Structure 1
Amino acid sequence: MLTFVLVCLVVSAAGQKDQRRNTECLPEFGCFNSHGLVPVPQDPSQVNTHMKIFTRAHAHNPTVNFDLDHYSSQVGHFASLFDSSKDTKVVIHGYLNSGSDAWVVQMTDELLKKGDFNVIVVDWQGGSKQAYGHAVGNTYLVGAEVAKTLTYLHDNRSLDYSRVHIIGHSLGAQIAGHIGYRVKGIGRISALDPAEPDFRGQPTDQRLDQSDATFVDVIHTDGSVFIGVSGYGLKDPVGHVDFYPNGGQHQPGCAELPLVSAIGSILHGSVGGAAGTISCSHSRATQLFIESINSPCKFYAHTCSSSSQFDNGACMGCPSDGCPVMGYEADQTSHRGSFYLSTAGSTPYCAHEYYVEIHVSHFSGVSYGELFVTLVGDHGRSEEIKFSPRNEYFRSGMVEKHVIATNTDIGQVTSLRVRYDEPKPHIHHTTHTIKLHSIVVESTENSNQNVAELDWVDRRRRVVQLVRTPVSCSESSGFEPRFGSAFSRSCFMNNNLIEDKWIFVLTFYTL
């Protein structure tokens, strides 16, 4: 694989500045203004932006580094390896990252497996590994530098802007927006959890929006309230299609760092030793997109009014022309708007979705804890999946509903394991047990139906397993599938209630 380096340092002399540095003017790019707490960009020599071009055809050529003082000769060498007959992918890293980080290398490899592209990697680590405000200011300079290079390729190497696909993460997604603002007609921008702090609420000439490319698709993974170690991502929809895996925040399998951390230090100006500690949820967007490039499993997403509506099972199913697909194939859909889906908490993230309904018995007391579910099918079993998003109160007659996901193909659901865990110390005025009435499981992928009615008590840190005979739900209790015949419902009925239809094996397993 060929690596060819372009240093986008157009001017070595400092630009004109006013005394307070409210404005920075550079001959090649025009003027940059500070706004709010965001300063003007740092000197281009400090940001030290590099661009590398990767191709399939030259796998063993060495990296070439340019003299930093002569942009015109540098870009000429760079352009000599550009093939205008191919589509062009531009990959831009985010805050505290570099162009040699593992996810950037992995994405480049996956893109070149997918097709014979020009893959351009933008490395601006000199500007990203700064206090956050300075890094934000530097995005405007980097956007101008990349835009200038694309313009050169257009004017001298017949680059077709409509065949340019920019993939940016975090601040890199905002850089993609800056590029699209300067270069009209960019074909596509894929924004991977675009950065929120210092961009939300800004005018569209200062942040990513759907006018920056013909098609803008966005993956939101860290849209919680910004607290310094999480919430780096923008929650607001800004693209033609906006995907919210797992509600767009707090990704499964992620245990975010405590507030007193390197990230907190970064925001107060201390950068040393903090690289690589960015939010797990914020980084998950890159992994989801990388997996989508060549995986046969598709991240199908669903139209819904909110993440809570999706989590409650109100928005499963696909229209007649199919669900939009999150990730690399997002541009294949004609749908527009916000879409929701669930993923697994570890790779592979593409998962089988199940809607699970747990009905607490009317004869249960008040309990406080968490429920965990393991689905068992005729092809295998899932990992134990956290059903409750957090410790919560379970009261008589309540119904807890969630969409869960597993990356294991378990086939038709044949049994169910449920674990109840009570936190320490015990909450006063609550019981140590939870008594359930029924459990419903629905899959979006099978046409069989399966429901459950029971009365059992799951004591603290014990598991109950329910096993059914293969009987249609319609023959049992009148539970009807909520989403039509394209879905599968698993039903677990109490043997005492339907003696001629169901056989239960209720076995407690001490953990």
Structure 2
Amino acid sequence: MHSSWHQGLSGLSETTVIKDFEKSRRNSEAEFTSPRQKSDQARTAVTPQSTPREQILKQIQPFSAGKEVCYEDLGCFSDTEPWGGTAIRPLKILPWTPEKIGTRFLLYTNENPNNFQILLPSDPSTIEASNFQTDRKTRFIIHGFIDKGDERWVIDMCKNLFKVEEVNCICVDWKKGSQTTYTQAANNARVVGAQVAQMLDILSTEYSYPPSKVHLIGHSLGAHVAGEAGSKTPGLSRITEYSYPPSKVHLIGHSLGAHVAGEAGSKTPGLSRITGLDPVEASFEGTPEEVRLDPSDADFVDVIHTDAAPLIPFLGFGTNQQMGHLDFFPNGGENMPGCKKNALSQIVDLDGIWAGTRDFVACNHLRSYKYYLESILDPDGFAAYPCTSYKSFESDKCFPCPDQGCPQMGHYADKFAGRTSEEQQKFFLNTGEASNFARWRYGVSITLSGRTATGQIKVALFGNKGNTQQYSIFRYNFCSEDTVREDTLLTLTPCYVA
């Protein structure tokens, strides 16, 4: 997400500054004509069939105006293209004020896993007085549409992280700005991304905390917000005794929060990592990179797609568009095991997907953060295979892993980052239906003595934690391709005997 942001006007209060600007100013002054000249030109251009109203519209069309709001320390935000007035974003909507959105930064650490401490970008002393440790990585978790920063899944993600590492876990709570109509929330996400970037800038300027220690994790809309922050925060401006670089930060965004992470990442050069958890489709798929999450928003961007079916008619809330260096499509990315669409979910509009029984309505969409949650404690249970399509993957055309290996979907995906410089690589895997989603893929090769045999094949796995049950994996008549001696072993292939 390349930045189109510019620094806010100095001296502005926290009130909104709205200013109209004319598109004609973008044209050269040589093209300017006086009102009298325009009137004459309009009269000569009007055909006999033109009505007075059409004549007026033709004269004022070159002066159609957009609007812009500016907030101190956050910059300016307009409603013109590509943010509004396009086929994908037809409505021109400005984001709310920071005060109305009410973003909070809730810090959990290994020392305070159950109670958060509030950090204020406007008051660095709140960081100084907290348990924030500059020698640790920082992971920001950014929720999506109609969600909140103190939701159970967000806190559980922090607690799982504390089991495997010492880390600063910051939950970005922008529930006031997300619990509105979807189109308004999508635009509010731009301000939230700028606020995340502002926090990263404070960590950089006050503590020299490098972007390479930052990981942004955004769900749905939050993923796109995280990306935007990367390009809007300047690099390190001064060094202090704390030496905390933005490169130690990880942004995590779910749903709409995935785009929030993208927004933040685009404002923070040198940001280490953004994880997009099923980035939302509506108002973002097919837009320019400056609007949505994209690989330029961080040094490493990984995306998990779990609800990528088209919004119409299948009510898929996530996007099928690849937006990272590594894009994971578990179970094909559209229908997750254990989730079933039904008539009720088909009639729920986008603004209401989180109302009431959200697990019932948005099961596929929520699986993205559930997979990530489990992956933290299961480092090798989500191996994903490079493949052109899920159909090819199901046909075993992409097994086993290539020479460079296979990445793990979820928390440990960054261990694969240095093995390739390519962007938008597609990976597939399968998961279980409920908790204990992790699955392992095995290849079974069997040889046959003789030309034919009839029976079935069952497999049981043995390990240091016990044995599995027997699984029936094959039931055919078996035959080899050629007639050979009985003591010759051949690769087994299925065949049908009349």
Q: TM-score, normalised by structure 2?
A: 0.67
Shift of the alpha carbon at 1:378? Answer: 3.8
Alpha-carbon distance between aligned partners in 2 of 1:26 and 1:118, rounded to the nearest angstrom? 28
Shift of 1:236: 1.5
After superposition, the Cα gap between the structure-2 partners of 1:26 and 1:320, relative to the gap in structure 1 and judged at 3 Å, is same
Of 452, 460, 477, which aligns to 2:476? Answer: 452
Aligned to 2:127: 78
| Partner in structure 2 of residue 27 of structure 1 | 72
Report the alpha carbon displacement of residue 14 of structure 1 after superposing the two structures with TM. 2.8
What is the one-letter code of the residue matched to 2:126? Answer: H
Post-superposition offset of 1:280: 0.8
Residue in 2 that maps onto 1:332: 415
Provide structure 2 residue ranges, at least 5 long, that are not aligned to the other structure: 1-11, 22-64, 224-258, 445-455, 479-485
Is contact 1:230-1:281 (8 Å) kept?
A: no
Aligned length: 373
Match of 1:142? 192
Q: Which amino acid aligns with 2:127?
A: F
Identity, in percent, stands at: 33
Residue among 193, 207, 211 paired with 1:161: 211
What is aligned with 1:93? 143
List alignment gaps of at least 5 residues for structure 1: 1-9, 357-373, 381-407, 417-439, 441-450, 455-473, 482-490, 498-511
Residue 23 (structure 1) shift = 2.3
After TM superposition, the structure 1 stretch with the greater mean CA deviation from structure 2, 175-184 or 42-51, is 42-51
Q: Please tell me whether the aligned partners of residues 284 and 292 of structure 2 are also in contact (alpha carbons under 8 angstroms).
A: yes
Cα 1:123–1:275 shift into 2, 3 Å: farther
Give 1:43 shift. Answer: 2.5
Amino acid of the structure 2 residue aligned with 1:340: F
Instruction: Tell me the residue number matched to 2:18.
Output: 16
Higher mean C-alpha deviation, range 251-260 or range 306-315: 251-260
Q: Corresponding residue for 1:118?
A: 168
The 3 A distance-change label for structure 1 pair 409 and 354 is farther
Mapped to 2, the partners of 1:92 and 1:150 lie a distance apart of 14
Q: Distance in 1 between the 2:385 and 2:118 partners?
A: 46
CA contact (8 A) 2:381 2:440 kept: no
* 1:162-216 Cα distance to aligned partner (Å, 9 max, x none): 0101111111111111111111110011111111111111111111000000011
Q: Pick from 287, 292, 302 the counterpart of residue 375 of structure 2.
A: 292
Counterpart for residue 272 of structure 2: 187
Larger helix percent: 2
- Name whichever structure is richer in strand by fraction: 1
Query: Normalising by structure 1, what TM-score?
Result: 0.66
Please give the per-residue CA displacement for 1:301-341, whole angstroms capped at 9, x wherever unaligned.
11111112112221121123421111111111114511111
Contact 2:113 2:159 survives alignment (8 Å): no
Kept after mapping to 1: 8 A contact 2:109/2:169 = yes
CA-atom RMSD in angstroms:
3.4
Q: Secondary structure at the match of 1:103?
A: helix
Q: Deviations over 1:376-408 (max 9, x none)?
A: 64469xxxxxxxxxxxxxxxxxxxxxxxxxxx9
Q: How does 1:45-56 map to 2 (within 5 A)?
A: 45-56=99-110
Per-residue CA distance 1:83-135 (angstroms, 9 max, x = gap): 21111111111111111112111101011111111111101111111111111
The reply to whether residue 305 of structure 1 matches residue 305 of structure 2 is no
Measured after TM superposition, the shift of residue 277 of structure 1 is 6.0
Closer/same/farther in 2, CA of residues 57 and 260 from structure 1, 3 Å limit: closer
1:398-457 Cα offsets, whole Å, 9 max, x none, are xxxxxxxxxx974664x36xxxxxxxxxxxxxxxxxxxxxxx4xxxxxxxxxx6229xxx
Inter-CA distance 175–162: structure 2 relative to 1 (3 Å threshold)? same
Query: Are the aligned partners of 2:276 and 2:301 in contact in 1 as well (CA < 8 Å)?
Result: yes
**CA 1:161–1:281: 2 relative to 1, 3 Å:** same
- Structure 2 CA distance for aligned equivalents of residues 40 and 475 of structure 1: 78
